[in-house]
Amino acid sequence: MNAPLRMSTHAGLIARGISKSFSSKGQPHKVLAEIGIEVKPGELLALTGPSGAGKSTFCRILAGLERPDAGSVELGGRAMAEVPAGQRGVALMFESYALYPHLTVRGNALSPLQAPGGRLALAEANKRVDEVLELLEIRHLHERLPGALSGGQKQRVALARLLVQSPALYLLDEPISHLDAKLRHKLRGEIRRRLSGLTVPTIWATPDGMEALSVGDRVAVIDQGRLEQIGTPEEIWLRPASARVAKLLGDPPMNLIDGELTREDGAIVFVRRGVKLTLAGALARAAERASGAAATLGVRPDAIGFVAPDAGGSASGAVLAEVYSNEPFGKHAIVTIDLGNLLAKVKTSMAAAAALGADGGIGRGIGITFPGEGMVLFDGATGRALSGD
Ligand SMILES: Nc1ncnc2c1ncn2[C@@H]1O[C@H](COP(=O)(O)OP(=O)(O)OP(=O)(O)O)[C@@H](O)[C@H]1O
């Protein structure tokens, strides 16, 4: 008998309470803890988190290649518990590519269209394959065997094999991680464009938080098997739910400064050796909600300003720091500053970085300011963001 149909409110993907442990040296090791997500038809959910967070395991469970210890997966309104991997209609791009070594690039890309149930007329299938190979800039390699391809070319063949399909769910596990920066940039846009015209849910897993923000309609952040936050790229960027989320996003990511909250003359002050900041507005209101004195101040690298080097740290309100390194990148510069046992990154203009000195100002004492924008306060005990709204 067929698995029972259970209709849901939408025909996308719904995963509820997914938990999974693996055994490591005889001890259970929890890899996923009650992950629940929904992806609507036509929506692209970017799943991000550091290496080992559980992204691949979650994708494998959705695809039916791994059984969860608890939780359920529903796809297209149908419960998947009893549906084997091959019958779920999931197009999965493996991180390891899993190409057929004896088939050419074309043969690999054609393979899902020739599988039982996926048969298209050969001419039609070849047309679809050509279009995708062209998109991925590997059409000229169509007669090569995988053994004669570079890592990035193999990755694009695996991607081609995924994109030719018309599945019920696309699962892309690190689809462009082995490509050079220029091709990654191009393909992010092209794949996004191609998938956005379809009414199929897509999950794109990547450890690169910025890639997740740029491709996802929504972004889910997992860390140590827990769903830390899910929301639009804007929500995740502007209001990271925890210091863990903040640490994963940005280029460079947010600076996290551990310190304490105290009161001075009625004002709330954040203090850390070498740093003392009087909090105002939303940050001060957020500080009122802290569970204790310990707090972490998150400061975006572009939210730190320099005062003229000659003014040193004596300018009022400025914090004393020392230039640790100075890297010009053409359109901007990254200056690393030493705040006293703590290195922080500052993203600034080439002109401001050059003004630090001919030698990049390395070792020089400077004053830095925190203009107030681009800062978030996290509870020191829980790591959760404190809201000042
Ligand atoms: N079959 C397995 N047996 C035992 N442990 C496993 C198995 N598969 C994964 N793990 C462990 O589960 C954790 C999550 O791994 P997973 O591959 O899901 O992470 P990930 O977020 O995809 O990481 P990456 O970005 O490096 O691919 C890791 O600690 C990993 O060692």
Q: Do 13-239 and 255-379 agree at the fold level?
A: no
Nearest CA to ligand 1 atom 30: 52
Ligand 1 centroid distance, CA of 76 (Å)? 27
What does the alpha-carbon distance between residue 272 and residue 92 come to, in Å, rounded to a whole number?
48
User: What are 186-243's pLDDT values in tens digits?
Assistant: 888 888 888 877 889 999 999 999 999 999 999 999 999 999 999 999 999 989 999 9
Ligand 1 surroundings by CB, under 6 angstroms: 22, 31, 49, 51-57, 95, 207
Domain spanning 13-239: which CATH class is it, in words? alpha beta
- The one-letter amino acid at 101: P
Asked whether the beta carbons of 291 and 247 are under 8 A apart, the reply is no
Nearest CA to ligand 1 atom 26: 51
The ipTM assigned to this model is: 0.96
Ligand 1 centroid distance, CA of 145 (Å)? 29
| Mean pLDDT, the chain, integer | 88
Ligand 1 centroid distance, CA of 116 (Å)? 31
**Quick one: the chain helix, strand, coil %, rounded to 5?**
30, 35, 40
* Lowest-pLDDT range of 70-79, 82-91, 176-185, 297-306: 176-185
Residue keyed to tokens 């005990």: 381
Nearest CA to ligand 1 atom 5: 22
List the domain boundaries for the chain: 13-239, 255-379
Tokens read off for 282 = 């939303």
Give me the CATH topology for the region 255-379.
OB fold (Dihydrolipoamide Acetyltransferase, E2P) (2.40.50)
Ligand 1 centroid distance, CA of 223 (Å)? 12
Nearest CA to ligand 1 atom 16: 54
| Average pLDDT score over residue span 172-182 | 86
pLDDT of residue 116: 66
User: What are 122-174's pLDDT values in tens digits?
Assistant: 888 999 999 999 988 899 999 999 999 998 899 899 999 999 998 999 999 98
Nearest CA to ligand 1 atom 12: 31
What does the alpha-carbon distance between residue 208 and residue 206 come to, in Å, rounded to a whole number?
5
Tokens read off for 221 = 């952040």
